[in-house]
């Protein structure tokens, strides 16, 4: 079966359609897991400073690169401008250089503005909060000014591509109206229960590749919510009867069906697993094809249900650029 395993980006570069997600894995877990992911064959790794594991990932990458087991050109590494940097164009290069130092790399393949909203941090870099615990936002965010700095990073060779994450059509369009370098990628929550057809159609027409995060429903969000005192029932995507039936039909797992449905739409996907068996399983999605009827059946499950609504960051919804 001929299969597209890369997405062609609008700057002429290619991004592996399947990547390895690293959100909600401790430094200890991720040290073992990234090494396993590379062994299993993942070459696209997605991280961010707010995941607090770039240093551990950097140590693994450095070992693999210096041993000659892998070449830098074979890897596609994405990281992100954290929300505390997003109000300060003067901090953009500083933030990427810090990520590069932690990742022990000279450049990343893709640098994304992590969120369209911005928070204030204290001297230790921790989110500042009001007495009631809500996060203090910085409303002065200027995406156009930020994007100019992002473009400067490409000119300096610190990143090959630039993009955005969690942005709306209106916010992306504002950047596109004034930019010299078009955003190459939009990274968003995307799965059977949150399909955002207008946003996806817009990206298609604007030639912006889409990466799906939380494709399996990010179960760990439940504990983040609990820690923040947020009571919220979250769905289990692996237990949806339609997904189960299709999985049985193809002799594949529910996770494989959820991931296959995404890549078959030409959308990149970055499932996270710290378990080697499940990592292998998540990668093994290119030897079967969902029928048009099965795709349609899964399309019909859209419920506009957002799992990562940032309710665990109480207060950010007050930011004027809060996207949801
Ligand atoms: P684990 O790391 O123990 O494998 P998402 O990518 O949507 O954020 O989902 C990640 C969650 O899904 C993690 O809890 C991860 O647990 C779990 N997971 C990853 N791959 C699979 C799989 N193939 N089957 C079941 N659960 C999975």
Interval 268-309: pLDDT, tens: 999 999 999 999 999 999 999 999 999 999 999 999 999 999
Q: Is residue 53 part of a domain?
A: yes
Q: Is residue 191 part of a domain?
A: yes
Ligand 1, atom 18: closest residue by C-alpha: 273
3-class state of residue 112 by DSSP: strand
Give dist(CA 17, CA 5) in Å, integer: 5
Q: Is the CB of 19 under 6 A from ligand 1?
A: no
Is residue 312 very low, low, confident or very high in pLDDT (cuts 50, 70, 90)?
very high
Q: Is residue 278 part of a domain?
A: yes
State yes or no: pLDDT of 1 exceeds 90.
Answer: no
Is 107 marked active-site?
no
Yes or no: say if 81 and 111 are a contact pair by the CB < 8 Å rule: yes
What pLDDT shows up at residue 254? 98
What pLDDT shows up at residue 40? 96
The whole-number average pLDDT for the span 13-35 is 97
Query: What is the residue range of 185's domain?
Result: 6-218+266-288+303-311
Domain with residue 16: its CATH number is: 3.20.20.100
| Total number of domains in the chain | 1
Give dist(CA 266, CA 258) in Å, integer: 14
Q: Is residue 1 part of a domain?
A: no
The C-alpha torsion from 148 through 150 and 155 to 161, rounded to 10°, is: -130
The whole-number average pLDDT for the span 171-182 is 98
Per-residue pLDDT tens for 223-268?
Answer: 999 999 999 999 999 999 999 999 999 999 999 999 999 999 999 9
Q: Is residue 163 part of a domain?
A: yes
- Which of 161, 171, 162 lies closest to 202 in space, CA to CA? 171
Q: Is residue 261 part of a domain?
A: no
Q: Is the CB of 16 under 6 A from ligand 1?
A: no
Ligand 1 center from residue 159 Cα (angstroms): 29
Full-prediction pTM beyond 0.75? Answer: yes
Q: Is residue 126 part of a domain?
A: yes
State yes or no: pLDDT of 57 exceeds 80.
Answer: yes
Give dist(CA 33, CA 7) in Å, integer: 25
What pLDDT shows up at residue 121? 87
User: 139 φ, ψ to 5°?
Assistant: -75, 0
Q: Is residue 234 part of a domain?
A: no
What pLDDT shows up at residue 4? 61
The whole-number average pLDDT for the span 1-27 is 90
């Amino acid at each position: 079966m001929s299969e597209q395993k890369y997405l062609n980006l609008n700057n002429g570069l290619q991004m592996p359609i399947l990547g390895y997600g690293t959100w909600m894995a401790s430094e200890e877990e991720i040290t073992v897991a990234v090494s396993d992911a590379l062994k299993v064959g993942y070459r696209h790794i997605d991280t961010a400073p707010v995941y607090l594991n770039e240093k551990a990932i950097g140590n693994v990458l450095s070992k693999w690169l210096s041993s000659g087991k892998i070449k830098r050109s074979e890897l596609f590494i994405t990281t992100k401008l954290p929300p505390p940097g997003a109000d300060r164009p003067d901090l953009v290069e500083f933030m990427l250089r810090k990520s590069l130092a932690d990742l022990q790399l000279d450049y990343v393949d893709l640098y994304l503005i992590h969120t369209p909203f911005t928070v204030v941090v204290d001297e230790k870099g921790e989110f500042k909060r009001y007495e009631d615990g809500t996060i203090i936002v910085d409303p002065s965010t200027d995406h156009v000014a930020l994007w100019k700095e992002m473009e400067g990073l490409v000119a300096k060779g610190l990143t090959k591509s630039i993009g955005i994450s969690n942005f709306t059509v209106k916010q992306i369009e504002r950047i596109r109206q004034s930019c010299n370098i078009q955003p190459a990628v939009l990274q968003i929550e995307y799965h059977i229960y949150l399909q955002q057809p207008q946003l996806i159609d817009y990206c298609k027409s604007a030639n912006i590749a889409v990466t799906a995060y939380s494709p399996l429903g990010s179960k760990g969000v439940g504990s983040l919510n609990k820690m923040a005192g947020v009571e919220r029932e979250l769905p289990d995507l692996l237990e949806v009867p339609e997904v189960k039936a299709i999985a049985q039909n193809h002799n594949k797992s529910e996770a494989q069906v959820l991931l296959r449905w995404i890549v078959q739409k030409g959308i990149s996907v970055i499932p996270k697993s710290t378990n080697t068996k499940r990592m292998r399983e998540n990668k093994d999605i290119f030897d079967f094809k969902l029928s048009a009827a099965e795709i349609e059946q899964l399309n019909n499950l859209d419920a506009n249900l957002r799992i990562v609504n940032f309710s665990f960051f109480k207060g950010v919804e007050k930011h004027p650029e809060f996207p949801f």
